[in-house]
Structure 1
């Protein structure tokens, strides 16, 4: 049996690393699309700030209904190659096509082009993101092991982001312009998608949890998810903790070059420090959660992040050395936001399965991803038009007034702090701790033993498969 196949055993590091590889391109895209692509469209392809901002918002709002449908379908999917493995294979080529269209976009593109390809892009990321999260929740079923698993997943995403950030730094040394660098990022991510999927798809074990009866659509079950207090709290926390850093990312290049006096290369280098910190921050935050619980760890990291962001304005302008520790601190703390929420959602998913007798984990992640999508829409859809209204000019070579620069500074600092602190406050008093989750798992194990089915092939490598259901 493959190490880590059993949900009750400790996953081997090779199993965790192989599973986490597919987060490399998603982490790379998180930085490339939020930090570099909107300014690239605005400054080099001639798309106005208002069009860029409104397009992103329209797409994210149109995309809201996609994830719940995907979640419903994923939870009811059964194929010869598994449930989530199938969807990862489907999502990869969709994402590759969209990455090519966006990062190799020609000059003169209009709103229709952006909306169409952004919709396809977010469809691809939704399939891969939901499939990967739900697969991870079923791959590891214990409270602390989930922190460990999602900590490594987050670290691999950070590594993907780091490599993307190294591209403009290397491009500058090769005398390539920003207009040439963004398409380079696209080609890197385009090929990273299939390469990172191979090991996970062929070698990672997959379990499909047993159900007490035949899957069926019961409206009251889905309504109970929408109004379940723990899921509502995580929904609001996800929205806040996406909007805060997303708001900062959308304004990052403008703020660090026009307000703080850094060159484009220096700004990218400091962003690299911020992201690199996550390689340490993700696993160490996961380790901290194993000692002090996930919700307490999340509250600590959100507070520490906000304090660190306050220091950005204290750093002397253009001083790279002084900025490094502050950027490292903020990046270290931010690395724990998403992994804690994903691990906590997996715990709530076990509670829901115990209550309803059926797997809802894909739908749970789908509903929570709505929060991220809504927040992402506002991160760019509000900040870019707001800067335009306040008189800030994003065009290359434009000269901004002191009042416009001050507006940029207030927007960059105040928005992220408010939303990140709100995200930490959302999970104050959380009760689903390690002891409560251990009891849920014991109840599930006892019930699953009564409904166990025959195992089916779950590996594409030809090795002995793990049981589809069996004991968790």
Structure 2
């Protein structure tokens, strides 16, 4: 009884900022890697390694397609994992060495041409899938309250911004040391490689984990995949997440080409502006999280997407090569983009509660696997489609190549129209969305009442020796 009272009291308290900051450390290497992968690595293989644009784009697309079935399988496996060490904590530890090996073979010692690129991209995506899924699902159980989730995912995003900004500094560090520009990508690789085990250790050592009780008699069936996506709330999130990943992903794939050949910036200047875009997330993530606490998450998404689209519309009309004007515009875009995934991920946690109330089983890992799939699909489509378009308009990405006005104009259209369209559609997905704070509050009350009927196993401790929330691990009492 004392353990039950302690668990109830723990779940009612707001999470400490120090706990959230420690937990958010996984976002550091993952966000840094996301930027390096989206902006620098494809271009590096096309310009420095000597693989054609079409081949690079096709390799990324092929790997994403092969990788699609992996996330749901990982999500199911994570949801079924029950150990005294934890559920998602265990998978976080498993994912780190897989990711580190792939980073070394892609960023630091690339070999094998297109075949090697495909093989090690598969390993890389396996590692990132494990860490992304375990981190997001763990966050959903760490913060059970509607508004607390906005706070947790906002801080995770803000901490991830730091990792992105740091990796963007690698080209400047390389240049300052008098090294060749081509060494920038290997430097990024070493940075993420060394950061990963440190970040994972902090998360595992300092963050508690609660394993929610399952209602016996419910079994997972393959058709549940479709049932989850077909739910009105989850279906909207999936479509919105696809669009809100594809828009910025499309922009990232063409970013350096657009800002150097169309807007007249050097590669270093374009990297600095990208740093401003990413750094704006420090302000954007927490403030959009607070906005979500006031007007609800889905309305905050609609505000952010509308502003983002309007910001991109203005880009072609700005003076070329003007760092100050470019910095203001990129800050505005980055500020608003910071709210996209943090809000949809926080909303996914609410849907996980809705499903657990109905099915009696934890489905957070599977739900986040579905949303992660949208990011993977959008990432593959962005690189594949945009690189194909560049070749069709005659754009030459080789170092030192000169492109005519027609090719540059095609680049401009490709860079702007895709992100504006997809981000706008992503915001429109939440017109009439029903799972707001009031409905989620009802769901949580019913879940807490049901969970209180379960016995609890001994407390799972963090490596730092602090007790976590007690974890029910046995069958419910007969009442």
> So what's the TM-score if we normalise by structure 1?
0.97
- Number of equivalent positions: 469
Gaps of 5+ in 2: 474-479
How far did residue 215 of structure 1 move?
A: 5.9
1:331 aligns to what? 334
How far did residue 9 of structure 1 move?
A: 1.3
Render the CA deviation track for 1:212-256: whole Å, top value 9, x for unaligned: 115632345444213212111111111101100000000001111
1:418 aligns to what? 421
1:359 aligns to what? 362
Query: In structure 2, the residue corresponding to 1:21 is in which secondary structure?
Result: helix
Q: Find the aligned partners of 1:286 and 1:3 in 2 and give their Cα distance.
A: 27
Contact 1:3 1:11 in 2 (8 A): no
Render the CA deviation track for 1:314-372: whole Å, top value 9, x for unaligned: 11111111111100000000000000000000001100000101111100110121111
Contact 1:262 1:318 in 2 (8 A): yes
Cα separation, partners in 2 of 1:222 and 1:379, compared to 1, 3 Å: closer
Aligned match for 2:67, one of 51, 63, 67: 63
1:8 aligns to what? 12
Cα separation, partners in 2 of 1:385 and 1:222, compared to 1, 3 Å: closer
Q: Which stretch shifts more, 443-452 or 337-346?
A: 443-452
Contact 1:25 1:193 in 2 (8 A): yes
Q: Find the aligned partners of 1:338 and 1:240 in 2 and give their Cα distance.
A: 11
Aligned match for 1:320, one of 312, 316, 323: 323
Q: Which stretch shifts more, 384-393 or 218-227?
A: 218-227
How far did residue 453 of structure 1 move?
A: 2.8
Q: Find the aligned partners of 2:34 and 2:415 in 1 and give their Cα distance.
A: 18
Render the CA deviation track for 1:402-428: whole Å, top value 9, x for unaligned: 100000000001100000001101111
1:347 aligns with 2:350: yes
Contact 1:25 1:192 in 2 (8 A): yes
Counting only pairs closer than 5 Å after superposition, residues 16-27 of structure 1 correspond to structure 2 as 16-27=20-31
Cα separation, partners in 2 of 1:240 and 1:345, compared to 1, 3 Å: same
> So what's the TM-score if we normalise by structure 2?
0.95
1:196 aligns with 2:180: no
Contact 2:88 2:137 in 1 (8 A): yes
Contact 1:172 1:265 in 2 (8 A): no
1:239 aligns with 2:242: yes
1:259 aligns to what? 262
Gaps of 5+ in 1: none
2:32 aligns to what? 28
How far did residue 401 of structure 1 move?
A: 1.1
Cα separation, partners in 2 of 1:233 and 1:312, compared to 1, 3 Å: same
Contact 1:76 1:215 in 2 (8 A): no
2:477 aligns to what? none
Aligned match for 1:184, one of 187, 194, 197: 187
Contact 2:218 2:360 in 1 (8 A): no
2:466 aligns to what? 463
How far did residue 4 of structure 1 move?
A: 11
2:77 aligns to what? 73
Q: CA RMSD in A?
A: 1.7
1:453 aligns to what? 456
Cα separation, partners in 2 of 1:223 and 1:412, compared to 1, 3 Å: closer
Cα separation, partners in 2 of 1:220 and 1:250, compared to 1, 3 Å: closer
Aligned match for 1:297, one of 295, 300, 304: 300
Q: Find the aligned partners of 2:161 and 2:41 in 1 and give their Cα distance.
A: 18
2:476 aligns to what? none
2:230 aligns to what? 227
How far did residue 104 of structure 1 move?
A: 1.4
1:174 aligns to what? 177
1:269 aligns with 2:272: yes
Contact 2:99 2:124 in 1 (8 A): yes
Contact 1:91 1:124 in 2 (8 A): yes
Q: Find the aligned partners of 1:245 and 1:464 in 2 and give their Cα distance.
A: 40
Render the CA deviation track for 1:176-198: whole Å, top value 9, x for unaligned: 22211110010000000001111
Render the CA deviation track for 1:134-159: whole Å, top value 9, x for unaligned: 00000000000000000000001111
2:135 aligns to what? 132
1:437 aligns with 2:440: yes
How far did residue 5 of structure 1 move?
A: 8.9
Contact 1:5 1:205 in 2 (8 A): no
Q: Find the aligned partners of 2:8 and 2:162 in 1 and give their Cα distance.
A: 24
Contact 2:274 2:330 in 1 (8 A): yes
Counting only pairs closer than 5 Å after superposition, residues 42-121 of structure 1 correspond to structure 2 as 42-106=46-110, 109-121=112-124
Q: Find the aligned partners of 2:442 and 2:159 in 1 and give their Cα distance.
A: 31
Q: Find the aligned partners of 2:374 and 2:300 in 1 and give their Cα distance.
A: 21
